[in-house]
Structure 1
Amino acid sequence: MISTVKELAAEALFVSCLQPSEDPSRAAVEEAITSMILRHGSDGCAAGVATEFGDHPDSAVRRMRWVQAALAECLTLRTPVMH
C-alpha cells in the first residue's frame, strides 16, 4: 500500500504546475499533491503522466526525476528520528 501511495503522490506532483526552478517548500509540494488528487483523481493524474511521457518523453523523464527527488526529501523530513 505504501508504494501505491508514493506512486499516486508522484503522479499528482508530476501533473502539478510546480517547477523545479521554484525550489518549492515541503508544504508547497504537499499542497500541490493534494490539490491535483482532488482535482483529477488517481486516474486523471496517471493519465496526465502517460500523456506527457507519450508526447514529450525526454522532458517527462527529467520531470519525474525531480518529482522523485522532491518526494524523497519530503519523506526524509517527515521520518522521525529514533534514538
Structure 2
Amino acid sequence: MKPNIGIINSMVRITAGLSMLTLLTIRANKTREVHPMLVVLASMKVAEGIVRYCPLTAAFEEMAEETDGIEQGWQQNLNQFSS
C-alpha cells in the first residue's frame, strides 16, 4: 500500500478531521447527541492524513487506469452503435 495523496492533502485531511472531532466533542458535551458515524468519518480523515492513503482515491485511480492503451471515449462508443 503506497501513499496516493500528497503532503499538502494529508495536512488538510488531518486538520479537517481534528476540527470535525473537536466540534463533535463540543456538541456531545452540550446536547448529549452525536451520531457515532460522524465520529468514525472524522477519525478516518485523520487516519488517511497520517497514513497518506485514501481508499476512495485508490478506487477512482484504478477505474480511470487504461489497460489496453486505447483511450475509450463517448464518441467512440456512439460510433460503434450507429453502423
Does the pair score TM above 0.5?
no
Query: Which structure is higher in RCO with an 8 Å CA cutoff and minimum separation 6?
Result: 2
- Could you tell me the TM-score, scaled by structure 2's length? 0.32
- Could you tell me the TM-score, scaled by structure 1's length? 0.32
